[in-house]
Each structure stands twice: as structure tokens, then as C-alpha cells.
Chain A
Amino acid sequence: MANITTPQPAEERTYERFPLARRIEHLTMLLSFTTLGLTGLAQKFALSPTSQFLVSALGGIEAARSIHHIAAIVLMFGTMYHIILLGYNLYVLRIRMTMLPVLQDGLDALQALLYNIGLRKSRPQMGRFTFEEKAEYWAFVWGTVVMGVTGFMMWNPITSAKFLPGEFIPAAKAAHGGEAVLAVLAIILWHMYGVHIKFFNKAMWTGKLTETEMLHEHPLELAEMKAGLPDREQDLIKIRQRQRKFFPVASILTLIMLAGIFGFINAEETALTTIPPQDELPVEVYIRWTTTPRATSTPTAGPTLAVTPTATSTPIVIVVSSDITWDGNIGPLFQQNCGECHIDDDKGGLTLSTYADAMKGGRNGAMFTAGNAAKSQMIIKFESGDHTDFKLSPQDLALVKAWLDAGALEK
């Protein structure tokens, strides 16, 4: 009965539980999960001294984020492998779906609890996967899905905000953090206890369990093994037939998933890479006060400071390219040239009657990128000849571009 300390007889029979590939898969997940947990929680609780120690040990916050991303990519590949393998095992080998939660698992859990508090005489007898193992597996599946979806949104916030309200990004961050805390604590409590404390289960490393261990942990599976019940397809011809169908489908599926991972990593760049902020106007530090009249407001109190113009100073004229405004130039220009389709009508969902309407854009998103004419959809459309209904004169187009580059000011 005392299964915590029972010494194992040296010659005891062992049963294979996890083949080598499964054990490597587990190790990969273990490393990836641990790395993600450490680098992620250090970001969630960034101001705690422990986090700061960890972050600086890893080479700073940007390095920690890169490591987090690499571990996430490993997890994505692991998940992809798992899905393909699952497909092979279920379709080609027709192994029994022993991981699927069934009603019996609920009953087993209840019985285990009743036994623990002394209301039942025996532990539940369980098969290949106990209710504890199933709970952990499906929690991992749920966690991976949540972390994957929310992680995508945090990794690619601009792309996500094209399809979703912007609020989803901080919500994703909240969920990512909450789920992380849940996952790490659940692993510490459930997994640690289940396979390390109550009984040191080495099956994930050796691949095997002894007969005694099998009897305690998976008695129903042991019984089936002893009875010689096969757990998978035995007919080699049938296996070959199914393989011929499975491999092409799996290849396509693999390609799709690889494309998905590639998209996940590369959907956008600006949120990750260092680009210098584009200054609205470069700051000229040294501009001497000049004698030219200036719009200065007079202070209401105190003596006025005598500002002595120095003879050395030459008046410096600041050229502000932001003199072009919607109200002054661009609005009337659009009204004259584009009004027929975009004021009287709303072709493409785009209305140019007011500044706000214009900046809102059309059905295909924003048409004007303030501060960057080259990125503005409107300019791209016109310059590529895509806007076939009407063409602006080069002068007008240049004016619109200058207006956009100067920040697309309204007034």
C-alpha cells in the first residue's frame, strides 16, 4: 500500500509508457514553457527586484523580450508537431482516444476526493490517462490557445487593430498575464504534486513504468495490456492505405501551419524594431530674439523685462511647412476636384466633406497618413494610377503631399 516508498524489485517487469519522440517533445515544451514563464512574468511584474535582477541578467528588457519570442516560436513549432502527430495516431494508427475527457473522469475525480476524505474504501481504478493527467493536458491546450491568440495580438498590435477594436490589445495583455499566472501556478501545484511529490514518476525521462507503478497508477491499462488487447490498428495493409491519404493532407496542413507561424512572426515590424520617431518639426535650439514684431502676450504682473536686441543678431526666418491646411487649401481643393464622387456621393465609403470625414477614410481604411505622404493610401492610389476615375494635376497632388508630410493639419 505504501506506494511512496516501496522499493522496486530489480527484476520487475516494465512497460513502455512514452516512446523517445514523446519524451523529446515533453522536454522541448518544458524548456519553452519555463523560459516563457520566467521572461514573461518578469515583464508582468517588471518593477519587482527579482524581475529586475532577472531582466538585467538576461541583458535588458529588449533581450528578455527577444528570448520570450524565441521560446514562443519553439512552442508554436511544438504545437504544430503535436497536431500532425495526433492526426497520424488517430487517423492512420487508429489509436484509441485515451486522452478524451469522458463522464467516467468526473466520477473518478469524485471517487478520488471521497476516498481522500475517508468516505470511500478505495481509490478509483483508472486507465492510460488518469483524470489528473487529462485535466493537465486540456489545461495546457486551453492555455496554449489563449496565449497564442493574445500573444499574436501583442506581437502584432497594428495588424490586430486593423480587424479588431484597439481595446482588444490591452485586453489581450491582461488575458496573457492572467493566463500566465494561472498556468505557472497550476504547473507548480498540480504537475509538481502529481508527478514529483506524491510519487516520483520518471516515465517522461525513462519512458517506462514498472508493473507495481502501473498497478497503482493505471490499473485498467495494465489489465488491458495483460489481456493482449491492442490499442491501435494491427493491419499493415490498412495502415499503408491510410498513410497514402494522410501524408499529402498532412503536408498541406504543415505548409499552412508554417505559413501561419511565419505570419505570426512577421506580420509587422514597426512595433518591434527600433525606428527613430519622426519629428514633426526639427527643433532649432539657438534662435536669437529679433527686433521683428512678434506676437508676444504681455505678462499681467511684475515689471517687464527689457529685452535688448543685440547688434550681432541677424533675423532668422523660420520656414514652417505646415502653412498648408485643410481649411485653407486642401478642403477647397478636394471640394473642387473630388466633390462629385466623395462629397455628393460616398464612393468607396469615403467622404471628403469635412476634415474628420476625410481622416476617417473609406471602406478600405484610412486614406491619409498624417506626416507621411508616401504611406498615404490616397497618394499611393493616385501615383500608381489606381484611381482611374479621375486624376489630380501634378501641382495639386504635390500640394496634397506637402500637406500630408507637414502633418495633415486641419487649421
Chain B
Amino acid sequence: MRRLKIARALLLFAGLVLAALAAAGLRSEPARAAPHIDRVSAPAAQVDNSVCLDCHGEPDLTLTMPNGEVLPLTISEGKFQQSVHGENEIACTDCHSDFSGFPHPDLKADSPRAIAVEYYTICESCHAEQYNKVLDSVHQRALAGGDKNAAVCTDCHNPHEQMRLTDDITGDLLPSARMHIPQTCAQCHSGIYDAYQYSVHGSALSDEGNLDVPTCIDCHGVHNIQDPTTAQFRNETPLLCAKCHANEKLMQAYDLPTNILNTYVADFHGTTVTLFEKNSPDQPTNKPVCTDCHGVHNISKVDNPQTGIALKQNLLVKCQRCHPDATANFPDSWMSHYVASPDKFSLVYYVNLFYKFLIPGVLGGMGVFVVTDFMRRLIERRKGAAH
């Protein structure tokens, strides 16, 4: 019985959405490239936003939900006007299509969260591209698995206040939008935000307004965010960091070396991880990737006196995560992204130099004997044949 009711409710809901779309289609200007607003020919009742704001513009308008939580119902007209939806003259009833009349129908949801989880699917009608990407995301999988806290569209994009995020023409992320990405994610991931905020990347973003540094989405992606705890994500970490750190143009401004990926791959650990990444990307390896020594969200400058791993005692702590018996000399067995030279890791440099001469020397010497012997034998054979 209950299921039938839900199904009926959903049908009704879908019908209302269609009606709302029709309304939107009639009213709106020719849509910009994206988001796309569908045009449906059937006309529907159009309620002006001012009608809604007559009540919902009142401060402190709330509703106590069946579960006891309070749902704020006040919409700031000013913020809505500034928002990208306000800019595009989206009507309240485009989304809240079943609320075009008064009194409003009874809410079926029993909590503010349930409303959000129920409502976010409406976004698909205009933002299908982003919506479909979200379907393949860690958030959507968590939601499907029953975690109602998993983020839906409206958790990151408050539909009543969301400002424009991308450039109207180029589609590039606006600088102001970039600035606030970490805070958006922090609404649910505030523990990680705390770590990020004081990291070399996070502090540059918030203290200096530096937009070169990665925000959450540069590593995790946006909309189709994947689980970062998989072996595959871990194995790809070096390539992820290298996207910026091997970029000469970007690193030049900070006087940072760009050979970090090459030097990592040349080392025992990096070779192993690279082979895993290439041959069995979904298999876990116990060899470290960038984040195991530098940290994940709390990455600090390597010369930071407390946490910087350019300091041997700090690096030793990292070594000991996998090599608990490691002692004071051990960190030097990792060449710290240096290329051996007479100044840095000179022993390695001179060993390489030694073999650079020894190998051609020995083989050259052998070659002289082998070639001359071979020639002599050929000559002897000809003579033998002639006789």
C-alpha cells in the first residue's frame, strides 16, 4: 500500500515538474549554451516571484518538521536577485512547481534533509550534464547506499543564493568561485578543511588569494568525484601532483623544481608505483606515493621547521611509518628528489661516474681482442681455403 502511495506521489510530482518546465520554456529567453532550459509547449500557470516573496520575504519564517527540526522558509530577495538563478529570471515555481497555489499542499517529507534529497532531482531538467556526472560519483553512491547525508546538488549550490561560478562565454571557473571551493566542501568535510586550511596550498589560497594552488576539485574533480581511498587513486597520485609540479611555467614563479616526478620514478619506490600504475592500476602496493611523505591535505613546505620533511628528523618519522626500525641515517637513503651531483649525493654521483668509464673501458678492451681475433681467423680461413 505504502509503495503505491509513494509511486502515485512520484507520478504527481513528475507531472508537476513537467508543467513547471513548460512554464519556464514559455517565459525564458533563448537559453545560453549551458545550462539548457527545455522548452515544453504546454502552457501552465505562471506565478510571479513577488507573489511568493510576499510571505517568504518575511524574516524568520520557519516550519517545524515532523521530526522536530526547524526548516527555515525565509528567502532573501536581494540574494536571490544577485544569484545566477535570479539573473536568469528563474521563477520560484520552476522548481517548486507544486507550490503554485495557496494553501500549499502538505509536505510528504518529515525532515529538512528529506526535502533536499527529494528535491535535488529537479536540477537535472536544466543542468543535465552536471547531474549525469554526479550519478557517477562517490556522493551519489553513498546516497544510493542509504546515507542521506551524502551531498546532493543543493548542498554545494544553494539554489536561492548561488552566484555565477563559470564565465558566461568561456565556461572557465571564475576566480571568485575558486576562492570559495574549499569552504563549500568544508560544510561536510570540515575536518579535512581544517587540515587543508593550514597547508601550504590552503594558506596560500586564503591568506594570499593565490589562485595557482589546488583547491579540492583540482585533485578530486567536480561532480563526478571518485573515491580517493582506492588503490587506483593512490597509484595515480604521482601523476596527479605532477600535473602542477612538473609544469615548468607554473613552478617557475615559486622557484620549485620540476623534476620531482622523474626523480621519484627513478627511485625504488617510484619505479614500483609507476609499474603498478601502468600494469595493474587497481592493485595496491605498499610503496609510498607523494602523499605518504608530504601529507594529503596538510601538505606543508618542506623546510617548515616543525613538519617539513627536508629536515631529517621529520623525514625519519615518515620513513618509520613503513619502516619502524629505521634509524637516524636511514632518511638519507632516499635522495629527496635530488639528482646526484658532486655537491648532493656525491657518492652516488661518483659511483655512476666510475661505471660510466669502467663499462666502456672494459668492453672496449674486450672488443679490441674480439674484433682482431675474428679478423685474424677470417684471414687464416681464407688462406687455408686457398691452399
Which of B21-29, B117-125, B314-322 participates in binding chain A? B314-322
State A2–B328 Cα separation when bound (angstroms).
65
Contact B330 A299 (CB under 8 A): no
CB-CB nearest in chain B for A2: B384
| B362 and A182 form a contact (CB under 8 A) | yes
A283 touching B330, Cβ below 8 Å = no
Residue-wise interface mask of A (335-376) relative to B, using a CB-CB cutoff of 8 A (1 in contact, 0 not): 000000000000000000000100111000110011110010
Q: Which residues of chain B from 336 to 380 have any CB-CB distance to chain A below 8 Å in the complex?
A: 340, 345, 347-348, 351-352, 354-355, 358-359, 362-363, 366-370, 372-377, 380
Number of interface residues of A (CB under 8 A): 100
Contact B340 A117 (CB under 8 A): no
Nearest B residue to A42 via CB reads B275
Residues of B at the A interface (CB closer than 8 Å) are 69-70, 79, 111-113, 149, 158, 161, 163, 175-176, 179-180, 183-184, 186-194, 197, 203, 205-209, 265, 267-268, 271-272, 274-276, 278-280, 283, 285-286, 288, 292, 296, 306, 313, 316-317, 320-335, 340, 345, 347-348, 351-352, 354-355, 358-359, 362-363, 366-370, 372-377, 380-381, 383-385
Contact across chains for A1 and B383 when beta carbons are under 8 A apart: yes
With both beta carbons as reference points, the residue of chain B lying nearest to A176 in the complex is identified as: B351
CB neighbours of A5 from chain B (8 A): 381
Q: How far is the CA of A117 from the CA of B313 in the complex (A)?
A: 62
Least distance between A155 CB and chain B CB atoms (Å)? 12
Top-3 shortest CB links A-B: A166-B332, A178-B355, A169-B333
A186 contacts B363, C-beta separation under 8 Å: yes
Q: Which of A72-80, A266-274, A382-390 contacts B (4 or more CB under 8 A)?
A: A266-274
> What's the nearest-Cβ distance from chain B to residue A249, in Å?
36
Query: B328 touching A365 by the CB < 8 A rule?
Result: yes
| Contact mask for chain A residues 163-177; partner B; CB cutoff 8 A; 1 contact, 0 none | 011111111011100
Partner of B322, one of A166, A167, A193, A270: A270
Expressed in whole angstroms, the minimum distance between the Cβ of B207 and any Cβ of chain A is 6
Q: How far is the CB of B276 from chain A (nearest CB, A)?
A: 7
**Do B377 and A4 have beta carbons less than 8 Å apart?**
yes
Residue of chain B at shortest CB distance from A164: B329
A244 at the interface (CB under 8 A from B): no
A299 and B209 form a contact (CB under 8 A): yes
Please measure, in the bound complex, the distance between the C-alpha atom of A179 and the C-alpha atom of B383, giving whole angstroms: 41
User: What are 22 A-B interface contacts by the 8 Å CB criterion?
Assistant: A2-B384, A2-B385, A52-B278, A116-B375, A117-B376, A158-B327, A161-B330, A166-B331, A170-B348, A178-B359, A182-B359, A186-B362, A193-B374, A284-B191, A286-B188, A288-B187, A300-B207, A300-B209, A301-B179, A306-B158, A310-B112, A408-B317
Residue numbers of A with Cβ under 8 A of B are 1-2, 4-5, 43, 46-47, 52, 55-56, 60-62, 109, 112-113, 115-118, 132, 139, 154, 157-158, 161-162, 164-171, 173-175, 178-179, 181-182, 185-186, 189-190, 193, 197-198, 268, 270-271, 274-280, 283-290, 294, 296-303, 305-308, 310-312, 318, 356, 359-361, 365-366, 369-372, 375, 407-411
Q: Given A157-B333, A171-B351, are A296 and B369 neighbors across the interface (CB < 8 Å)?
A: no
Tell which of A116, A164, A190, A311 touches B366, judged by Cβ atoms closer than 8 Å.
Answer: A190
Task: Please determine whether B321 and A158 come into contact, CB atoms closer than 8 angstroms.
Answer: no
Task: Select one of A174, A182, A283, A356 contacting B192, CB under 8 A.
Answer: A283
- Contact in complex: A360, B328 (CB < 8 Å): yes
Complex Cα distance, B363 from A410, in Å, reads 55
How far, in angstroms, from A117 to B368 measured CA to CA in the complex? 10
- Chain A-chain B contacts (Cβ-Cβ < 8 Å), number: 259
Closest to A356 in B: B313
A301 CB contacts on chain B under 8 angstroms: 175-176, 179, 209
| Residues of chain B with a CB closer than 8 A to A302's CB | 175-176, 179-180
Chain A, residue nearest B279 (CB)? A56
Question: CA–CA, A361 to B316, complex, Å?
Answer: 13
Residues of B within 8 A of A193 (CB): 370, 373-374
A186 touches B328 (CB 8 A): no
Partner of B377, one of A198, A283, A297: A198
- The answer to whether B203 and A297 have CB atoms under 8 Å apart is yes
Q: For B70, give the chain A residue with the smallest CB separation.
A: A311
Q: Which of B206, B327, B351, B374 contacts A175 (CB 8 A)?
A: B351
Residues A178 and B362 in contact, CB atoms below 8 Å apart: no
Q: A181 to B355, Cβ gap below 8 A? A: yes
Given known pairs A60-B279, A178-B359, A289-B190, the reply for A46 and B274 (CB within 8 Å) is yes
Instruction: Determine if B286 and A274 form an interchain contact, defined as CB atoms under 8 angstroms apart.
Output: yes
Contacting pair A170 B359 (CB below 8 A): no
Query: Could you say which residues of chain A place their CB within 8 Å of the CB of B351?
Result: 171, 174-175, 178
With a CB–CB cut-off of 8 A, which chain A residues contact B385?
Answer: 2
Is there an interface contact between B111 and A312, defined as CB atoms closer than 8 Å? yes
Q: What's the Cα separation between A169 and B269 when bound, in Å? A: 13
Provide the bound-state CA to CA distance between A5 and B320, in Å: 64
The answer to whether B321 touches A165, judged by C-beta atoms less than 8 angstroms apart, is: no
Among B267, B327, B367, B385: residue with most chain A CB under 10 A? B327
Query: In the complex, which of the residues B208, B283, B328, B333 contacts A300, with contact meaning CB atoms closer than 8 Å?
Result: B208
Contacts of B374 in A (CB 8 A): 193, 197-198
With A113-B369, A158-B325, A198-B373 in contact, is A277–B292 under 8 Å at CB?
A: yes
Pairwise interchain contact A55-B279, C-beta atoms closer than 8 A: yes
